[in-house]
Structure 1
């Protein structure tokens, strides 16, 4: 019978243990960063600036930048879209509230803010790493890619804004809404509590 000690251990076990420890530590710090939204986005902005400076000084990797722009545009659409599409919901018979007596349905994003931030940060890091491999530096005329991306952005945002206007939702909020409550209703009806 073989022993379970050091002699029977495979060389893959330390690598698997290191990977597991690294994954656990990475998840710990990722979880701790969740409430610090401003700091997370400032870090992502720093990563994005490093990527932009790298592309500027290398004078290449425009295809990588274009693909990154398309990916970020796709993430932005997911961030601005509701989890349940009102067009599909209207076909099922259920719809958004149209009167004050209807049930309140809060706006729930298809792509939550944290996942949006994480995906963008990861995308910039991967694109930055790709700039170190010449196989990704395909020679293109970058102004055409830029103009095409701008047109695509405008058309996509126009469609998204029209969808937001049609179904009357606003995906951006600045925090918890505060209501004045009964004081404004009581003062307008002339009733006072003493």
Structure 2
């Protein structure tokens, strides 16, 4: 076999596994509750591993920061709300007010949020198998710093949500059901 045939076989094998992976992801997409329960259970088991192993606090902190970053992207609108408000003010001044429905579009869709979080969890769980990633630190400082970071970023995000009057979650929204 020459080099080009080996390369073609490798590409075909990679494409086969990529297609299988996409098939499984497509099958998981409608099962929202099951996906999030699996992620929650995985995070719980990861934290049990960190506490029981008495190590990998930096890996745990890195995972927590990454999940916080993903959560903020999930709560943030895709388009800058302040620019949209400026456009609406200009429309009001010129008398061209158009009352069109503008749905909330997330910067990070729910499935991508779950998918990225699950990949990070699997990577961090694999890192706990090796002592090289167990960097010695005083873990209470990391916990306090994360709580402070979480409180400040969520305060800023909630203020942004209040200022521009949007709700990124389905909490309290009316749901309609079909009559049988």
Task: Give the shorter-chain TM-score range.
Answer: 0.7 to 0.9
1:163 lines up with 2:174 in the alignment: no
Secondary structure in 2 aligned to 1:105? coil
Alignment counterpart, residue 128 of structure 2, candidates 112, 126, 131: 131
Compared CA separation, residues 165 and 176, structure 1 to 2 (3 A): closer
Compared CA separation, residues 156 and 13, structure 1 to 2 (3 A): same
Equivalent residue, structure 1, for 2:144: 147
Quote how far apart the aligned CAs of 1:22 are.
1.5
Alignment of 1:32-181 (within 5 A): 32-91=27-86, 93-94=87-88, 102-173=99-170, 177-178=174-175
Equivalent residue, structure 2, for 1:26: 21
Q: CA RMSD in A?
A: 2.5
Unaligned runs of 5+ in 1: 1-6, 180-194
Quote how far apart the aligned CAs of 1:45 are.
1.6
CA distance in 2, matches of 1:120, 1:73: 10
Quote how far apart the aligned CAs of 1:21 are.
1.6
- TM-score after normalising by structure 1: 0.78
More helix by share: 2
Give the aligned length: 170
CA distance in 1, matches of 2:55, 2:6: 41
CA distance in 2, matches of 1:175, 1:149: 29
Secondary structure in 2 aligned to 1:139? coil
Quote how far apart the aligned CAs of 1:135 are.
2.0
Quote how far apart the aligned CAs of 1:56 are.
1.7
